[in-house]
Amino acid sequence: MTFDIKRPDASLKEPLQNRIDNLTKPKGSLGMLEELALRIGLIQGTLSPELRNPHNILFAADHGIIADGVSVSPKEVTWQQLGHFAKGGAGINFLCNQHGFKLVLVDAGVDYDIPAGHGIIDMKVRRSTRNFHYGPAMTADEMELCLQRGAEVVGDVHASGCNVVSFGEMGSGNTSPSSMWMHLFTGIPLADCIGAGAGLDNDGIRHKYEVLKESLDNYRGDGSVTDIMAWFGGYELVMAVGGMLRAAELGMLIIVDGFIMTNCILAASKLYPEVLDYAVFGHQGDESGHKLVLQALGAHPILHLSLRLGEGSGAVCAYPILQSAVKMINDMDTFADVAVTKYF
């Protein structure tokens, strides 16, 4: 699948910056709000940006590597939590309700037959990836299908009037494929890419490293971006990549969540670097390695709240800051509008 992602029109940068600089405030005094307003205006190609009908798309899948003891969460937690999200009452539910997001739930590859009628979109590729310790987690065809299905979900929400989207995930053990992508796409030492996940202790982290290092030693692929994505990825992760690329193609604002979704947009950027022009980074989480991958991307996260839940929670938490940035550029007077002497 190919995407036609165009960079935002840079000719609008100067008029946007001029408007921001001439609002009734000292130049630069609203800090990151000014940076965000500029980025959103460039993405939307307007001096008066707006945020409409936000969605948080949550992809869920299981991972073969969990059989090697890399997570404290048993595999069944994936389908149990997905059902919990569908009923309401989980972390991402209260945040979406608070901030006006519609939550979209997608079964990308959960190792359980989820019955119909629960509001979960069935895009299951397979019941769990294979164990990448011993071979590729998915086939090239499965990876392609994930890209297509992730793009399809984003196309549907865009058709409903959504122009701002965040992505979340649920999948026991999915920090392991994320760590592999991080290492292979950035060159950061593997040990620095591995953290506690859902709560490993020091011995658990050491074991996780040994398993992932052996998996890396066993890799027999061609080293291409797509081969790395397929060999070490997860169905939910590749669907998120497809969703991010489609969102950028449609000119949508992408709010990037934590460690796992940051590695998804890292992978997306290795295919289409232009995708980063459409992204803002919601937060810096507490998962070991998140700060490093953000630095590798040159990203400046909005929040640092010591979050490590996933699900899109940090992205949704950051949304009010984006709303403030848009309100600033639209609702504040300029010095030319009112009788205030420009004082800088």
Nearest-CA neighbor of 333 among 35, 24, 37?
A: 24
pLDDT of residue 111: 97
**Count of C-beta atoms within a 10 Å radius of residue 333:** 12
User: What would the pLDDT profile of 22-42 be if each residue is shown by its tens digit?
Assistant: 999 999 999 999 999 999 999
pLDDT of residue 262: 98
Q: What percent of the chain has pLDDT over 90?
A: 91
- Residues facing 164 on adjacent strands: 253
Cβ(103)–Cβ(167) below 8 Å: no
User: What would the pLDDT profile of 129-188 be if each residue is shown by its tens digit?
Assistant: 999 999 999 999 999 999 999 999 999 999 999 999 999 999 999 999 999 999 999 999
Q: What percent of the chain has pLDDT over 70?
A: 99
pLDDT of residue 339: 78
How far apart, in whole angstroms, are the C-alpha atoms of residue 150 and residue 172?
20
Of 142, 169, 287, 311, the active-site residue reads 311
pLDDT of residue 281: 98
- Band of pLDDT at residue 72, cut at 50, 70 and 90: confident
Structure tokens at 97: 């309700």
Query: Strand 102-109 to strand 120-122: parallel, antiparallel, or no bridges (unpaired)?
Result: parallel
pLDDT of residue 200: 86
CA Rg value for the chain = 20
User: What would the pLDDT profile of 204-235 be if each residue is shown by its tens digit?
Assistant: 899 999 999 999 999 999 999 999 999 999 99
pLDDT of residue 311: 95
- Band of pLDDT at residue 341, cut at 50, 70 and 90: confident
- Residues facing 58 on adjacent strands: 105, 168
pLDDT of residue 289: 93
- Whole-model pTM: value is 0.96
Helix axes 259-271, 290-297, angle to 10 degrees: 30
pLDDT of residue 287: 85
pLDDT of residue 199: 78
pLDDT of residue 237 exceeding 70: yes
* Residue 144 among the catalytic residues: no
Residue located via tokens 């408007």: 19
User: What would the pLDDT profile of 265-317 be if each residue is shown by its tens digit?
Assistant: 999 999 999 999 999 999 999 888 999 999 999 999 999 999 999 999 999 99
Q: How open is the CA angle 62-63-65, to the nearest 5 degrees? A: 155
User: Between the CA atoms of 152, 156, 158 and 160, what dihedral angle is there, to the nearest 10 degrees?
Assistant: 180
pLDDT of residue 16 exceeding 90: yes
pLDDT of residue 344: 67
pLDDT of residue 219: 97
User: What would the pLDDT profile of 100-126 be if each residue is shown by its tens digit?
Assistant: 999 999 999 999 999 888 999 999 999
The fold for domain 55-320 equals Rossmann fold (3.40.50)
